[in-house]
């Protein structure tokens, strides 16, 4: 048996590379390089100023084939689920806001149109969205209906051949910069989805400014005030609440990988710091308590990567169930936030500044813990899977 040369990295210790094929490694390296060159130099400023150059970034991400990258046709790259997951991991090592931009565009808005839209709607939006020239958002959550979207109040009623939409959607990523909003509404026949061009009269979006988390991401309220849409704006394949919930599986899958990117960046930052920061006459990485923290963080990171890759391989084999995505989202976000908090302690006071990425990741992960199903919702999904008894109500 060989021995690793020391010091080594968490990824080498876990042996991640051996679990990936050449194409997966190439995609991972390309996204990692882009994040290093394009995102890392500016992200702390964007975060502090509460902005992200979404339009410019979308075109760059589209040029790399990262938007709707696991979808087939319509200008999408058609990669494996694992490759998509690895891209999410590298993007979130930059910032959760960057991964959110890609998740919402590809896994929520584009996936909804790709899976449930008419051919006309797909042709109209998907190639432009894949290229990053059109931005999409996904409006499911409402001010009074977050974890329980079944109670949504946004309504769509028929008016001749048209539909009239009224309601408010809340906490919508990319909302104020979107060209098309996928909006879910209650009708007399059940929940339906609509691809709403955001220049339609009666549609407005208002940026939510007071965030302490995910600051490098646009989050908005959508208001639909007698928005008149033709029947062709409806997504004909979406005939129940199961349709928006199926889109969530796609974005949750990306988060299973993505959260580990934030965790890895925190862990690597803490490792670097521990090697150089001196106290009591030696590097703090030489103290047993610091080494125990680093070892435990690496264990949880490594277990998370193995779980993500296992779920990814199952998805590529067409064998992944939605409850299994909940296992990954619950575990990996929970452990990522624990890693971020532990890494922060290793950095001492420096850990609370924007000079290091750790506090930014920790703050971002608070949103990641809540969106795409809170940790409590995923716990209950797993509880239902094990007992057969839903405990949501």
Q: Is 168 in the site for ligand FAD (CB under 6 A)?
A: no
How far apart are the C-alpha atoms of 90 and 17, rounded to whole Å?
Answer: 14
How far apart are the C-alpha atoms of 106 and 143, rounded to whole Å?
Answer: 24
- Which of 16/88 has CB closer to ligand TGC? 88
**Least distance (Å) from ligand FAD to the CB of residue 167?**
12
Q: Which helix (H) or strand (E) holds 220?
A: strand 219-230
- Which of 104/336 has CB closer to ligand FAD? 104
- Which of 281/388 has CB closer to ligand TGC? 388
- Within 10 angstroms of residue 284's Cβ, the number of other Cβ atoms is 20
- Within 10 angstroms of residue 73's Cβ, the number of other Cβ atoms is 12
**Least distance (Å) from ligand TGC to the CB of residue 291?**
34
Cis amide leading into 315 (omega within 30)? no
Which one from 24, 92, 300, 372 is the annotated catalytic residue?
372
Q: Is 232 in the site for ligand FAD (CB under 6 A)?
A: no
242 interacts with, out of ligand FAD, ligand TGC, none, CB within 5 to 8 A per kind: ligand TGC
**Token couple for 136:** 């999409």
How far apart are the C-alpha atoms of 359 and 275, rounded to whole Å?
Answer: 19
Report how far apart, in Å, the C-alpha atoms of 270 and of each of 93, 121, 295 are: 14, 47, 12
- Which of 121/141 has CB closer to ligand FAD? 141
Report how far apart, in Å, the C-alpha atoms of 46 and of each of 43, 130, 214, 221, 322 are: 5, 24, 11, 21, 34
Query: Which residue in 238, 261, 285, 230 sits closest to 97, CA to CA?
Result: 261
120 interacts with, out of ligand TGC, ligand FAD, none, CB within 5 to 8 A per kind: none
Query: Which residue in 82, 171, 175, 136 sits closest to 368, CA to CA?
Result: 171
**Least distance (Å) from ligand TGC to the CB of residue 146?**
7
**Token couple for 356:** 């290091």
Where on the chain is the footprint of ligand TGC (CB under 6 A)?
A: 100, 103-104, 138, 140-141, 147-150, 173, 240-242, 245-246, 248-249, 251, 322, 371-373, 377, 381, 392
Contact window for ligand FAD (CB under 6 A) among 137-145, 159-167, 194-202, 313-321: 137-145
**Least distance (Å) from ligand FAD to the CB of residue 174?**
7
Q: Is 207 in the site for ligand FAD (CB under 6 A)?
A: no
- Which of 130/218 has CB closer to ligand FAD? 218
**Token couple for 113:** 């149109």
Total residues at interface with ligand FAD (CB under 6 A): 19
- Greatest pairwise CA separation for the chain in angstroms: 80
Burial of 49 (0-12, 13-18, 19+ CB in 10 A): exposed
150 interacts with, out of ligand TGC, ligand FAD, none, CB within 5 to 8 A per kind: ligand TGC
Q: Is 247 in the site for ligand FAD (CB under 6 A)?
A: no
Q: Which of 194, 222, 371, 378 forms a contact with ligand FAD (CB under 6 A)? A: 371
In the annotation, is 372 catalytic? yes
DSSP percent split of the chain into helix, strand, coil, nearest 5: 55, 15, 30
Query: Which residue in 252, 134, 132, 215 sits closest to 182, CA to CA?
Result: 134
9 interacts with, out of ligand FAD, ligand TGC, none, CB within 5 to 8 A per kind: none
Q: Is 370 in the site for ligand FAD (CB under 6 A)?
A: yes
**Token couple for 329:** 């989202």
139 interacts with, out of ligand TGC, ligand FAD, none, CB within 5 to 8 A per kind: ligand FAD
CB-nearest residue to ligand FAD: 146
376 interacts with, out of ligand TGC, ligand FAD, none, CB within 5 to 8 A per kind: ligand FAD
172 interacts with, out of ligand TGC, ligand FAD, none, CB within 5 to 8 A per kind: ligand FAD
Q: Which spans of this chain sit near ligand FAD (rule: CB under 6 A)?
A: 104, 138-141, 146-147, 171-173, 214, 219, 367, 370-371, 374, 376-377, 392
Which residues are known to be catalytic? 372
């Amino acid at each position: 048996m060989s021995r690793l040369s020391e010091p080594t990295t968490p990824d080498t210790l876990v042996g991640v590379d051996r679990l990936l094929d050449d194409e997966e490694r190439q995609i991972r390296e390309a996204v990692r390089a882009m994040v290093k060159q394009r995102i890392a130099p500016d992200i702390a400023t964007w975060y502090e100023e509460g902005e992200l150059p979404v339009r410019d970034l979308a075109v760059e991400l589209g040029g790399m084939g990262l938007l709707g990258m696991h979808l087939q046709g319509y200008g999408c790259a058609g990669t494996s689920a694992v490759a998509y997951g690895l891209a999410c991991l590298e993007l979130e090592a930059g910032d959760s806001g960057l991964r959110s931009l890609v998740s919402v565009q590809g896994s929520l808005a584009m996936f909804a149109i790709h899976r449930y839209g008419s051919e006309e709607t797909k042709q109209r939006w998907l190639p432009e969205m894949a290229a990053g020239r059109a931005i999409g958002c996904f409006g499911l959550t409402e001010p009074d209906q977050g974890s329980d979207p079944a109670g949504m109040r946004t309504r769509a009623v028929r008016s001749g051949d048209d539909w009239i939409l009224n309601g408010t959607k809340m906490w919508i990523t990319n909302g104020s910069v979107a060209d098309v909003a996928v909006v879910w509404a209650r009708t007399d026949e059940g929940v339906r989805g609509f691809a709403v061009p955001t220049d339609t009269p009666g549609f407005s979006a208002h940026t939510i400014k007071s965030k302490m988390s995910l600051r490098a991401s646009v989050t908005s309220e959508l208001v639909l005030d007698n928005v008149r849409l033709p029947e062709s704006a409806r997504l004909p394949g979406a005939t129940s609440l199961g349709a928006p919930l199926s889109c969530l599986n796609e974005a949750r899958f990306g988060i299973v990988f993505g959260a580990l990117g934030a965790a890895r960046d925190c862990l690597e930052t803490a490792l670097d710091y521990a090697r150089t920061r001196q106290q009591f006459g030696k590097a703090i990485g030489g103290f047993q308590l610091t080494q125990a923290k680093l070892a435990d963080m690496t264990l949880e990171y490594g277990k998370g990567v193995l779980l993500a890759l296992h779920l990814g391989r199952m998805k590529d084999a067409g064998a992944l169930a939605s409850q299994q995505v909940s296992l990954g989202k619950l575990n990996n976000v929970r452990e990522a936030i624990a890693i971020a908090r532990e890494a922060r302690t290793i950095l001492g006071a420096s850990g609370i500044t924007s000079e290091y990425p750790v506090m930014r990741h920790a703050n971002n992960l608070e949103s990641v813990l809540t969106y795409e199903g809170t940790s409590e919702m995923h716990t209950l999904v797993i509880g239902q899977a094990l007992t057969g008894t839903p405990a949501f109500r």
